[in-house]
A and B are shown apart, each in its own frame.
Chain A
Amino acid sequence: MDLMEKNLELLEVQKLEGHTDRVWNVSWNPVSSHAHGTLPILASCSGDNTVRIWEQSSLSRSWTCKTVLEETHTRTVRSCAWSPSGKLLATASFDGTTAIWEDLGDEFDCISTLEGHENEVKSVSWNAAGSYLATCSRDKSVWIWEVLGGNEFDCAAVLNGHTQDVKMVQWHPTMDVLFSCSYDNTIKVWWSEDDDGDFQCVQTLDESSNGHSSTVWAISFNATGDKMVTCSDDLTLKIWMADISMMHSGEGYAPWTHLCTLSGYHDRTIFSTHWSSDDIIASGAGDDAIRLFVDSKHDSANGPSYNLLLKKEKAHEMDINSVQWSPSKENRLLASASDDGMVKIWQLETKL
């Protein structure tokens, strides 16, 4: 199925209003948004210091705000992430803390607060098994937390190495390898070779590795985890690859190498990028537009290349801070968050 040949468009399903300041991040619940027969749930977090949980009604099919998580963070909530089980939500804030919430059905209970960073926490990520949590901060460090039973979280490692503000952390989809990207223009890879919790920086992707020349804002992996896309203030998206089968068979660390750079498509900072399970890369940028890219499947001497599938101009009225594909395989839903205070749900469909 060649997507480029289908006449596709991104249709706005609904605009979710409620936040009273810019929305920084959105996260789809991996279980309820995915499992057949259950309704998708989306979390959003904002400069208004709150987190909103949105749910789609089975009757009307429209989205409403089910809960507002407030009175906990005292400053901007910058990032939110559901645990793989879908039962817990981690929220990272400029107030220096990361809160862990449990979904009790009717309401959410804040079961723990992770402290330690010296200043604003920028991002939080769960590993595939839900046994580790990672956070990063303007204090230049990346912290790894172990998820113990009974609402206990223990700091397992404090990773230093970045020379500036760390913008995002993202665990690999299948292995306990952690990735971080920063204002220092690099992407770092952290791994515990003996699987004993002793994480070290095993690779740094900088300009000499064909990396970015300005702040790297986000990282996203494809479903199989052998490719990743990064986006930057340098106005490019970069695709990277690694021979992860090597790592799965215990032959040691498989380094990431630059595969392709998508330049000339953006003229403002790209704040977010997300790789869908059916291989569509979405980007959200400072020009208020959403762009979708796909593998051109025409390998040249320079390697694989990617094509612009479509550009949705004025998707929002201000900068787009986050784009996230729904994990659902039934439809191609995309959520976006913006400085305009809105969250939008989009559907990728064939034009009639």
Chain B
Amino acid sequence: MVSGLINENPIVYERKERRDVRTDSSNTNELSVDTIDQLEVFDHIRDIKDPEHPYSLEQLKVLTEDSVEVDDSKSHVRVTFTPTVEHCSMATIIGLCVRVKLMRSLPSRYKIDIRVAPGTHATEAAVNKQLNDKERVAAALENPNLVEMVDECLSPSFE
């Protein structure tokens, strides 16, 4: 059993200023309403809570706007996240949370690829392979304990 947290003292960053969707002038353009861009995808995932600490993935700089690469014409999104420590055993949980949030938020035509930032994790290839094996993800999401953990990370915190 793990006695302590993986990362006892995470660095917490300020949250980036958010775009107010209601007053943003770019939203008045008919065409842009339907195209999904980098900020919109980031907005879906920035508030996902870290499984171990009471902070969001944005606050821990696990995710930034640049984590997201979108090609709406190809219905493709790739998210690259940076675990706080190299041996983070929570990497697959974090990746799974990001995938689930995007699956629930983006149109079903979207292809989603998740990976850890190159060089930031000891077993990078193994983590990436698991996160992108659709059958493994499907089986994992039939595990009630895992789903409970994911839902907890995805649930909004009220501040």
Residue positions of A touching B, CB distance < 8 A: 22, 47, 75-76, 78, 94, 119-120, 122, 138, 165, 167, 183, 214-215, 233, 268-269, 286-287, 317-319, 340
A-B contact pairs, 21 of them (CB 8 A): A22-B138, A47-B138, A75-B142, A76-B138, A76-B142, A78-B135, A94-B139, A94-B142, A120-B139, A122-B135, A138-B139, A183-B129, A183-B133, A183-B136, A215-B129, A215-B133, A286-B111, A317-B108, A318-B109, A319-B134, A340-B108
Could you say which residues of chain B place their CB within 8 Å of the CB of A47?
Answer: 138
Shortest C-beta distance, A99 to chain B (Å), equals 17
Q: Roughly how many angstroms separate A198 CA and B66 CA in the complex, as a whole number? A: 56
Could you say which residues of chain A place their CB within 8 Å of the CB of B134?
Answer: 269, 286, 319
13 more CB-based (< 8 A) A-B contacts, given A94-B138, A286-B134: A22-B138, A75-B142, A76-B139, A76-B142, A78-B135, A119-B139, A122-B135, A138-B136, A215-B133, A233-B133, A287-B111, A317-B109, A319-B134
Shortest C-beta distance, A10 to chain B (Å), equals 21
Give the dominant DSSP class at B's interface.
helix
Q: Roughly how many angstroms separate A44 CA and B134 CA in the complex, as a whole number? A: 19
Asked whether, in the complex, the Cβ of A167 is within 8 Å of the Cβ of B109, the reply is: no
Asked whether, in the complex, the Cβ of A268 is within 8 Å of the Cβ of B111, the reply is: yes
Residue of B nearest to A269 (CB): B134
Could you say which residues of chain B place their CB within 8 Å of the CB of A75?
Answer: 142
Q: Roughly how many angstroms separate A233 CA and B130 CA in the complex, as a whole number? A: 12
Could you say which residues of chain A place their CB within 8 Å of the CB of B111?
Answer: 268, 286-287
Q: Roughly how many angstroms separate A119 CA and B139 CA in the complex, as a whole number? A: 10
Residue positions of B touching A, CB distance < 8 A: 108-109, 111, 129, 133-136, 138-139, 142
Shortest C-beta distance, B78 to chain A (Å), equals 13
Q: Roughly how many angstroms separate A269 CA and B137 CA in the complex, as a whole number? A: 15
Q: Roughly how many angstroms separate A120 CA and B136 CA in the complex, as a whole number? A: 10
Could you say which residues of chain B place their CB within 8 Å of the CB of A165?
Answer: 136
Residue of A nearest to B113 (CB): A268
Shortest C-beta distance, A140 to chain B (Å), equals 13
Residue of A nearest to B134 (CB): A319
Could you say which residues of chain A place their CB within 8 Å of the CB of B138?
Answer: 22, 47, 76, 94
Could you say which residues of chain A place their CB within 8 Å of the CB of B133?
Answer: 183, 215, 233
Q: Roughly how many angstroms separate A214 CA and B138 CA in the complex, as a whole number? A: 19
Q: Roughly how many angstroms separate A340 CA and B135 CA in the complex, as a whole number? A: 15
Could you say which residues of chain B place their CB within 8 Å of the CB of A317?
Answer: 108-109
Q: Roughly how many angstroms separate A120 CA and B159 CA in the complex, as a whole number? A: 41
- Which one of B108, B111, B129, B135 has the highest number of Cβ atoms from chain A below 10 Å of its Cβ? B135
Q: Roughly how many angstroms separate A317 CA and B139 CA in the complex, as a whole number? A: 22
Could you say which residues of chain A place their CB within 8 Å of the CB of B139?
Answer: 76, 94, 119-120, 138
Q: Roughly how many angstroms separate A280 CA and B133 CA in the complex, as a whole number? A: 28
Shortest C-beta distance, A139 to chain B (Å), equals 12
Could you say which residues of chain B place their CB within 8 Å of the CB of A119?
Answer: 139
Residue of B nearest to A95 (CB): B142
Residue of B nearest to A47 (CB): B138
Q: Roughly how many angstroms separate A145 CA and B13 CA in the complex, as a whole number? A: 57
Residue of B nearest to A185 (CB): B129
Q: Roughly how many angstroms separate A340 CA and B134 CA in the complex, as a whole number? A: 14
Q: Roughly how many angstroms separate A64 CA and B133 CA in the complex, as a whole number? A: 33
Residue of B nearest to A74 (CB): B142
Q: Roughly how many angstroms separate A75 CA and B136 CA in the complex, as a whole number? A: 14
With A215-B129, A318-B108 in contact, is A167–B135 under 8 Å at CB?
Answer: yes
Q: Roughly how many angstroms separate A107 CA and B16 CA in the complex, as a whole number? A: 60
Residue of B nearest to A288 (CB): B109
Shortest C-beta distance, A267 to chain B (Å), equals 10
Could you say which residues of chain A place their CB within 8 Å of the CB of B129?
Answer: 183, 214-215
Q: Roughly how many angstroms separate A215 CA and B134 CA in the complex, as a whole number? A: 12
Q: Roughly how many angstroms separate A269 CA and B111 CA in the complex, as a whole number? A: 11
Q: Roughly how many angstroms separate A51 CA and B2 CA in the complex, as a whole number? A: 41
Shortest C-beta distance, A154 to chain B (Å), equals 27
Could you say which residues of chain A place their CB within 8 Å of the CB of B136?
Answer: 138, 165, 183
Q: Roughly how many angstroms separate A319 CA and B137 CA in the complex, as a whole number? A: 14
Q: Roughly how many angstroms separate A287 CA and B138 CA in the complex, as a whole number? A: 18
Could you say which residues of chain B place their CB within 8 Å of the CB of A78?
Answer: 135
Could you say which residues of chain B place their CB within 8 Å of the CB of A268?
Answer: 111
Could you say which residues of chain A place their CB within 8 Å of the CB of B108?
Answer: 317-318, 340
Could you say which residues of chain B place their CB within 8 Å of the CB of A318?
Answer: 108-109
Minimum-distance CB pairs A-B, first 9? A120-B139, A75-B142, A94-B139, A318-B108, A94-B142, A76-B142, A317-B109, A76-B138, A47-B138
Shortest C-beta distance, B124 to chain A (Å), equals 15
